[in-house]
Amino acid sequence: MIQALRGMKDIIPPDNERFVHIIETASAVARRYGYEYIETPLLEETALFKRSVGESSDIVGKEMYQFVDKGGHDVCLRPEGTAGVVRMFIQNKLDKKGGIHRFFYHGPMFRYERPQKGRLREFHQFGCESFGEGSVYEDFTLILMIKDIFDALGIGYKILVNSLGCPECMPGYRERLVAHLNDIKDGLCEDCQRRIATNPIRVLDCKVDSCQVLLANAPVLTDNLCETCDADFATLTKLLEKHGLPFELDPKLVRGLDYYTRTAFEFVSDEIGAQSAIAGGGRYNRLVEFLGGKPTPAVGFALGVERIMELVKMPEKGREGLYLGVMEPQALESVLAIAHRKRQSEKVYVEYNKKSLKAHLKAADRVGAKLCAIVGEDELKAGEIWVKDLETKEERRVAIDEF
């Protein structure tokens, strides 16, 4: 029997309703914040992610679904959403148009890594990207948006924040960090030793416990910020405090992608096992320019749909819709006509086969219908339909035209 590939999962009942509820809730919140829906392709040139995510990252180095297509192009399935949105932004000349552009999107991403709880090879993200607004108030507003999404979904969280600095303050910090890492290099894992030369800040994010012990006395980025970055970060933390958002400063929070600068944040939960991050993002002011566009400040986030599915509190579901059935085959045509009219405004289930009244009522109950409407022999002769409200148990017969 052919089965789904490892790490790729069907979304079927009852999880399908939870999945749709997450997407619809997040989309509604994003629209209230002035964001517009967009879609970008699942397949992109590999160079897009090498240039944006960074060749030193695990995503590009180890995890991309990459291949050469029939036209000889080096392509891959998107491992994350931001790079494709930035490519779209530049390709459609929105960087030259100026102004502020805010977009949201959702869909599948692909990474070839070891499947585990909350982590799949095909997974789904909901994300938002804001272009053209350089104020730290926009960073804070995105954090507020995530808060509103998780509050609406009934999910508890804690927020981790850090600043990754800018081209002015990062070089000095990098020198101090590399000097410290070279002193402890022999005790670090193989990945961390490699990153010292390629992207030393990523060493701070290593998940190996022995590395974290050695990094306890590493230089702290927020102690090395320039005046502008320091002021922005102070404003952000004051806003979080003022609005009562639960947050912690995490000097080792660097995010997994190379393009972040200044604000970095994660929402974490202790209810989903080892992979505690349920949403994350930050500012990436240099990425539009780096990919060939006009310099444009930008900030965004993404949340993992599969990561939060188990945490979502679903609204209580009542009965809904109409179940239609017949006890005489000759009545089916008129029932189909009723169903078509009713479907203009409500959910309708139709049973095509002749059944007893008891069997119809059981079937209506099974699908959660509110009303069960049946045409039997007597109703067919009288041009009527028998209706029972499955919540109130009220029964009546009414003319088909009236119904």
Same domain, 147 and 295: yes
- In a domain, residue 70? The reply is yes
How much of the chain is in helix, strand and coil states, percent to nearest 5?
Answer: 40, 20, 35
User: What are the C-alpha distances in Å from 307 to residues 112, 140, 157, 196, 276?
Assistant: 17, 23, 13, 31, 9
Same domain, 307 and 327: no
Lookup: tokens for 125: 């993200």
Same domain, 288 and 330: no
Same domain, 46 and 146: yes
Same domain, 388 and 298: no
pLDDT on residue 274: 57
107 DSSP β-pair partners: 125
pLDDT averaged over every residue in the chain: 91
Q: Mark which of 251, 278, 311 sits at the end of a domain.
A: 311
Q: Residue 296 — φ and ψ, nearest 5°?
A: -145, 120
Same domain, 338 and 230: no
Least confident among 13-22, 193-202, 281-290, 376-385: 193-202
The CATH number of whichever domain residue 276 belongs to comes to 3.30.930.10
Same domain, 357 and 283: no
CB atoms under 10 Å from CB of 280, counted, come to 22
Cβ atoms of 68 and 74 closer than 8 Å? yes
pLDDT on residue 258: 62
Residue tagged 């209506």 (tokens): 364
Domain count, the chain: 2
Residue pLDDT, tens place only, 172-203: 888 888 888 888 888 888 878 888 877 787 78
Same domain, 67 and 128: yes
CB atoms under 10 Å from CB of 35, counted, come to 20
Residue predicted with more confidence, 56 or 334: 334
pLDDT on residue 80: 93
Predicted confidence (pLDDT) at residue 396 exceeds the cutoff of 90: yes
Q: Residue 273 — φ and ψ, nearest 5°?
A: 85, -155
- In a domain, residue 220? The reply is no
Same domain, 244 and 345: no
pLDDT on residue 135: 96
Residue pLDDT, tens place only, 250-260: 888 876 566 78
- The secondary structure of residue 14, as a DSSP letter, is T
Mean pLDDT of 74-97: 96
% residues pLDDT > 70 (the chain): 97
Lookup: tokens for 299: 């900030």
- In a domain, residue 184? The reply is no
Q: What's the pTM value of the predicted model, to 2 decimals?
A: 0.88
Residue predicted with more confidence, 196 or 330: 330
Predicted confidence (pLDDT) at residue 87 exceeds the cutoff of 70: yes
The CATH number of whichever domain residue 356 belongs to comes to 3.40.50.800
Which domain range does residue 364 map to? 322-399
Same domain, 238 and 386: no
Q: CB under 8 Å to 235, separation ≥6 — which residues?
A: 136, 137
- In a domain, residue 256? The reply is yes
Least confident among 39-48, 56-65, 137-146: 56-65
Predicted confidence (pLDDT) at residue 278 exceeds the cutoff of 90: yes
Predicted confidence (pLDDT) at residue 52 exceeds the cutoff of 80: yes
Lookup: tokens for 31: 């629209």
Same domain, 231 and 365: no
Environment class of 20 (CB within 10 Å of its CB; exposed 0-12, middle 13-18, buried 19+): exposed
Mean pLDDT of 380-390: 94
Q: Mark which of 277, 311, 345 sits at the end of a domain.
A: 311
Same domain, 254 and 326: no
Residue pLDDT, tens place only, 353-371: 999 999 999 999 999 999 9
Q: Mark which of 311, 335, 360 sits at the end of a domain.
A: 311
